[in-house]
Amino acid sequence: MKLPFMKDSPFKMPYTTPNIVSHLVKRLLSLLESVPAQRPIVIVCIGTDRSTGDCLGPLIGTSLSKHSSRHFHVFGTLAEPVHAMNLDDTLQQINTQFDKPFLIGIDACLGQVASVGCIQAGNGPVRPGAGVNKDLPPVGDIHITGIVNVGGFMEYFVLQNTRLHLVMSMSEIISLGLFTAISNFHVSRTSRGETAASDYTS
């Protein structure tokens, strides 16, 4: 049963939650369900490998890019990160390369002590740089973020001193959940298209 408010209600769960990947997949499927077939899915993983806390995005991008899937396109990996210096150019490239892309913005963020280790997903863009007072363009029709450490004081220092184990664990969950959700969404979309075509020709 699909609850009508599900996609609009906040999704925020600790990465240690049992069956966290399944929970994340369900939420992402609800967020993807209205994406038209002709819109390419583009995943923008924001961050840099020069900071432990800020490498969540590039780790996810690297993991997703290994699948070489034709169902989505990835920008932002450890080899070619998307960060403050090249974000504008990357967004221009995406909009030139793809026709009306559906963007999924991914980034690390800082939060309250009780929220560290939580994965969030929802409608609307991610706002990169907000935690370190940078004015960068919002990214994404939907967003996925991981709260990697505590915000509010010496943010750059905090990001530099974030545990790699936490970031790695969260990146594995998010990349697996996102890949599974997009794969399932594509299968569902294809079967719906075949059913519609069958109904039309019957």
pLDDT digits (tens, 9 = 90+) for 134-180: 778 999 999 999 999 998 777 888 888 899 999 999 999 999 999 99
What is the reported pTM? 0.88
Judge whether residue 101 has pLDDT over 50.
yes
How many H helices and E strands in the chain? 5, 6
Name 43's Cβ contacts closer than 8 Å, sequence gap at least 6: 61, 64, 72, 73, 74, 75, 76, 103, 104, 106, 178
Whether residue 129 is predicted with pLDDT greater than 90 in this model: the reply is no
pLDDT in tens, 11-44: 999 999 999 999 999 999 999 998 988 899 999 9
Contact 17, 118 (CB under 8 A): no
Beta strands in 50-191 (DSSP E): 73-75, 102-111, 118-123, 142-150
Helix axes 164-201, 20-32, angle to 10 degrees: 40
pLDDT, tens only, 63-78? 999 998 899 999 999 9
